[in-house]
Structure 1
């Protein structure tokens, strides 16, 4: 099925997909509403094909990339969360100890996009751990639709414990120098914010379009933050003014970047929400931030 050009997709379709991807529409309702935009030369099948993620052609760093020493699955223990958790541990090719980055997935488990982000971190000189919060339920099932359904069966607070345990695992790993930050996307953005709340020794957090902690929680943040938002993401952005006020009131070291004209999920290069210019700028800023705060 030939995919549509991004420019041919109405903004309302992106908004529909956002609701669907965040469990505010079931698949049947999503398809019904999507069908109203199948007009002219645009078919429902082409719309569906375009909006669903493409994991076949979008990987940017292969596991055998020369900038990586290795990229393999490991198991670690999350005693306050889901117990045994699997994650992708990617190591840079450089010798000696490296700072670490926990990479937190969206609301659908450790899919190929997030694995690729973990390898991007390693290619930039960091040891990274990308956990799969679906592991207690069998792990990422191979499709995002099934992954979203599975993740709804876990408490987000319990999953937060899994990523906090990942931080502790990475911090004490023999190839890590003990300086660890976190980057997360969507659900993972909320996790990144909350890890900053919970972990006074976190060295830096980069939440991409993530839900915000309460003002009381924000007062506990010690780590520097780089907060990334999409200007068209009204749902998430609505919580920013209160969050910013709390960060200012508590003199938290933060910077916020708002990327104009892009949608929630703009960093994810597997869907048409991806915006190459904004994604590259945001990622370059992310690596610069970690270079400044973790090394």
Structure 2
């Protein structure tokens, strides 16, 4: 488990997951965690521990000398018309590189996801992290407001925007034609969705604690996929048995890992759900997976995932 000094009861993590995914409102969430105050924990302490602190999440500075970051727009004719995202490339790039679409959670392009994009570029790939909230002005700087904004949008158009982003990145002039996708929570769903909708476009998909694509397309998934689950994530894990059956029926190329005793969101190092050991292992496996499938000539390294 995470070595945070504040020990939050598992109930609070479960309630936060319900709140973050719209199953309960904020008033209900606060009412529930207030019941834990009798155990000696203040409501403010619990809430602060579960709320992102993005200063903790910066592993690669936007000023890092090895990368160059900018914002790039792309066409999305079946979505909102135009999309925009955070585009990060290794500095001094001359050869064409593998590309990775980085997909945020259900709250827009927050600082954690931008940092993940920088980590991807630091590892030697072209990274692109679209912001689903771009049609509404972009991530508002606050996760609660970002969730409300994303929930108000047309889900089908959001999905079309990410399909357009994948096609944009796949054909980018600086790329080698190989496309990977990594996403977290909602982004995990988008990773699965893109693998199903664009099986001949996505060369490697890595969903972190994401639900499968919709029933009408999920049987198109061919892989390869590297799937990460959190052991305590009952909501997402409940979807896995049926998804696994589909993947096996499809003879899809996949590897799945479940990380014991960690919560949904364990890779997000801005909250107390973060588990350093699980996050670092999952990320090492992710980079190994991309190294296998996103190089110029296909599989050239021994799989280590």
Gap change, CA 1:88 and 1:214, over 3 Å in 2: closer
Which residue does the alignment assign to 1:74?
72
Residue 202 in 1 paired to residue 202 in 2?
A: yes
Structure 1 residue 273: Cα displacement:
0.4
Instruction: State how 1:29-68 maps to structure 2 within 5 Å.
Output: 29-68=28-67
Structure 2 CA distance for aligned equivalents of residues 40 and 189 of structure 1: 35
Structure 1 CA distance for aligned equivalents of residues 42 and 275 of structure 2: 23
Residue 252 in 1 paired to residue 255 in 2?
A: no
Structure 1 CA distance for aligned equivalents of residues 205 and 5 of structure 2: 31
Structure 2 CA distance for aligned equivalents of residues 276 and 122 of structure 1: 21
* Contact 1:101–1:181 (Cα < 8 Å) also in 2: yes
Structure 2 CA distance for aligned equivalents of residues 76 and 240 of structure 1: 33
Structure 2 CA distance for aligned equivalents of residues 169 and 214 of structure 1: 23
SS at match of 1:128: strand
SS at match of 2:109: coil
Structure 1 residue 77: Cα displacement:
1.3
TM-score normalised over the length of structure 1: 0.95
SS at match of 1:89: strand
Residue 287 in 1 paired to residue 293 in 2?
A: no
Structure 2 CA distance for aligned equivalents of residues 57 and 263 of structure 1: 18
Instruction: State how 1:182-201 maps to structure 2 within 5 Å.
Output: 182-199=181-198, 200-201=200-201
SS at match of 1:211: coil
SS at match of 2:223: coil
Structure 2 CA distance for aligned equivalents of residues 5 and 252 of structure 1: 38
* Contact 1:215–1:246 (Cα < 8 Å) also in 2: no
Structure 1 residue 155: Cα displacement:
2.4
For structure 2, the residue ranges without an aligned partner over 5 or more in a row are: 296-305
Structure 1 residue 51: Cα displacement:
1.1
Gap change, CA 1:45 and 1:158, over 3 Å in 2: same
* Contact 1:215–1:242 (Cα < 8 Å) also in 2: no
Gap change, CA 1:284 and 1:5, over 3 Å in 2: closer
SS at match of 2:217: helix
Structure 2 CA distance for aligned equivalents of residues 169 and 224 of structure 1: 20
Structure 1 CA distance for aligned equivalents of residues 36 and 236 of structure 2: 25
For structure 1, the residue ranges without an aligned partner over 5 or more in a row are: none
Structure 2 CA distance for aligned equivalents of residues 224 and 216 of structure 1: 20
Residue 174 in 1 paired to residue 183 in 2?
A: no
Structure 2 CA distance for aligned equivalents of residues 133 and 288 of structure 1: 28
Which residue does the alignment assign to 2:298?
none
Which residue does the alignment assign to 1:269?
269
Instruction: State how 1:222-261 maps to structure 2 within 5 Å.
Output: 222-261=222-261
Structure 2 CA distance for aligned equivalents of residues 49 and 212 of structure 1: 31
* Contact 1:189–1:208 (Cα < 8 Å) also in 2: yes
Structure 1 residue 95: Cα displacement:
2.6
Higher deviation after alignment, 261-270 or 52-61: 52-61
SS at match of 1:24: coil
SS at match of 1:141: coil
Cα deviation, 1:240-276, whole Å, max 9, x if unaligned, reads 0111011111100000000000000000001100000
Structure of higher RCO (CA pairs closer than 8 Å, 6+ residues apart): 2
RMSD over aligned Cα atoms: 1.4
- Across the two proteins, how many residue pairs are aligned to each other? 291
Which residue does the alignment assign to 2:299?
none
Structure 1 residue 217: Cα displacement:
2.5
Instruction: State how 1:64-143 maps to structure 2 within 5 Å.
Output: 64-68=63-67, 70-93=68-91, 94-143=93-142
* Contact 2:191–2:207 (Cα < 8 Å) also in 1: yes
Structure 1 CA distance for aligned equivalents of residues 184 and 106 of structure 2: 9
Structure 1 residue 124: Cα displacement:
0.5
